[in-house]
Amino acid sequence: MRAFNYYAPTQVVFGPEAEVQTGVLVKKYGGTKVLVHYGGKSAERSGLLDVVCKSLEAEGIAYVKLGGVVPNPRVSLVRKGIELCRQEGVDFLLAVGGGSVIDSLKAISIGVPYDGDVWDFYIRKAATTTCLPLGCVLTIPAAGSEMSDGSVITNDEGGLKKDYCINEFRCKFAVMNPVRTYTLPAWQTACGAVDMIMHTQERYFSKDDDMEVTDAIAEAVMRTAMDSVHIVLEEPENYRHRAQLMWAGSLAHNDLTGCGTSGDWATHCLEHELSGMFDVSHGAGLAALWGSWARYVLAENPTRFARFAVNVLGVTNNFKDTNETALAGIKKMEDFYRSIGMPISIHELIGREITDAEIEEMADKCSNYGASTVGCLKVLSREDMVKIYQMAK
């Protein structure tokens, strides 16, 4: 088991009507003037935004609102948020939404105290640990941003999607009411399930294999997400399974399933180029790539892929041929993606053949024009990236 430093300071308030506690939580963490940040229409339409604002008013907390965050959140709105917070003297930031809203909020939180342009952090031109405190009311189990240290932002110019990760980005609190996820469309529900499964897989597929307790938790998170997503796609208002998915999403990305493993993250890096270039849903992009990545790197640790096939997907172990078991697992995982309406190739994802020039451009961006690699189970060069995109075509 590798040495690790597990830090998950977020207070989680989970259950029916949890959102009415938002004002009390903001007060507890010192907020007196709040930016309430949200997305398109869902939080307004469902009445959640009103409930949250009323809970702030009940505690005598002033607030300003900024909506309009889109999936693959844009740096242009982040810049507006930074200006608004400065003008209004905001001292606490609250997201009401999903990963995109929370990530946009995190970017605002480091932009407010910074003199330069916030994009500097995402392109590694600047670094910081100074930010305004954050909290969130989560509406979609998916990205895990409610407990993670990451923020992923897209630059409107050039379709560059980049992350920035610091422990200071971890929310002071996360309010999670599974009932508020009943309104999620099937597509978003499925994308969310893929993302949480992938967050677990990125940590699970490593060369390490001496972290039994971490593996057992990871396998349970993946099995639960797979079982529950099937049920909620049939029964959107099934509380029990909406709740399982919601908690699985947080556990998948609060680093619990990474304790003692090295992690890989190549599929995520490859996917960020797809959603940066084609503005597709992150979860769907991951599903489109995973099988190709898995087949490409399988030889690095076939036993681990075979273990995944048996323990997570219920493939019958063929002790004579580890590779055969592992390959059956990869195929079964793709069958699962198909069964929840996800694409398993790039052309299914974007609705047309991707061109070789587009693949070269994504590999350029993903490898910083050949200067860097991604992945850990197998370290991927620019050439490897092109091969995987070609396999996933």
Footprint on this chain of ligand NZQ (rule: CB under 6 A): 39-43, 71-72, 97-101, 103, 139-140, 142-145, 148, 150-152, 180-181, 183-184, 188, 191-192, 195, 253, 268, 282
Which residue type does 85 have?
C
Q: How far apart are CA 137 and CA 25, in angstroms?
A: 11
| Interaction partner, residue 71 (Zn ion, ligand NZQ, none; CB < 5-8 Å by kind) | ligand NZQ
User: Where along the sequence are the contacts to Zn ion (CB under 5 A)?
Assistant: 195
| Interaction partner, residue 188 (Zn ion, ligand NZQ, none; CB < 5-8 Å by kind) | ligand NZQ
Residue 71 beta carbon to ligand NZQ: minimum distance, rounded to whole angstroms: 3
At 153, is the secondary structure helix, strand, or coil?
Answer: strand
**What's the first-to-final CA gap in the chain, in angstroms?**
37
Q: For strand 160-165 and strand 150-155, is the pairing parallel, antiparallel, or unpaired?
A: antiparallel
Phi/psi of residue 325, nearest 5 degrees = -65, -45
Residue 306 beta carbon to ligand NZQ: minimum distance, rounded to whole angstroms: 26
Give whichever of 208 and 271 is closer to Zn ion, judged by the CB atom: 271
Give whichever of 26 and 284 is closer to Zn ion, judged by the CB atom: 284
Residue among 247, 267, 242 at smallest CA distance from 337: 267
Residue 112 makes CB contacts below 8 A (sequence gap 6+) with 82, 85, 86, 90, 131, 132
Residue 247 makes CB contacts below 8 A (sequence gap 6+) with 14, 141, 176
| Interaction partner, residue 40 (Zn ion, ligand NZQ, none; CB < 5-8 Å by kind) | ligand NZQ
Q: How far apart are CA 64 and CA 56, in angstroms?
A: 11
| Interaction partner, residue 112 (Zn ion, ligand NZQ, none; CB < 5-8 Å by kind) | none
CA 244 and chain centroid, separation: 17
Using CB positions, name the residue nearest to Zn ion.
195
80, with CB counted inside 10 A (0-12, 13-18, 19+), is middle
CA 65 and chain centroid, separation: 24
Residue 32 beta carbon to ligand NZQ: minimum distance, rounded to whole angstroms: 26
DSSP 380: B
Residue 197 beta carbon to ligand NZQ: minimum distance, rounded to whole angstroms: 11
Give whichever of 214 and 281 is closer to ligand NZQ, judged by the CB atom: 281
* Cα angle 186, 189, 194; round to 5: 125
| Interaction partner, residue 39 (ligand NZQ, Zn ion, none; CB < 5-8 Å by kind) | ligand NZQ
Q: How far apart are CA 17 and CA 21, in angstroms?
A: 8
Residue 252 beta carbon to Zn ion: minimum distance, rounded to whole angstroms: 9
Residue 168 beta carbon to ligand NZQ: minimum distance, rounded to whole angstroms: 13
Residue 196 beta carbon to Zn ion: minimum distance, rounded to whole angstroms: 8
| Interaction partner, residue 98 (ligand NZQ, Zn ion, none; CB < 5-8 Å by kind) | ligand NZQ
| Interaction partner, residue 144 (Zn ion, ligand NZQ, none; CB < 5-8 Å by kind) | ligand NZQ
Give whichever of 138 and 326 is closer to ligand NZQ, judged by the CB atom: 138
Give whichever of 52 and 362 is closer to Zn ion, judged by the CB atom: 362
Give whichever of 272 and 378 is closer to ligand NZQ, judged by the CB atom: 272
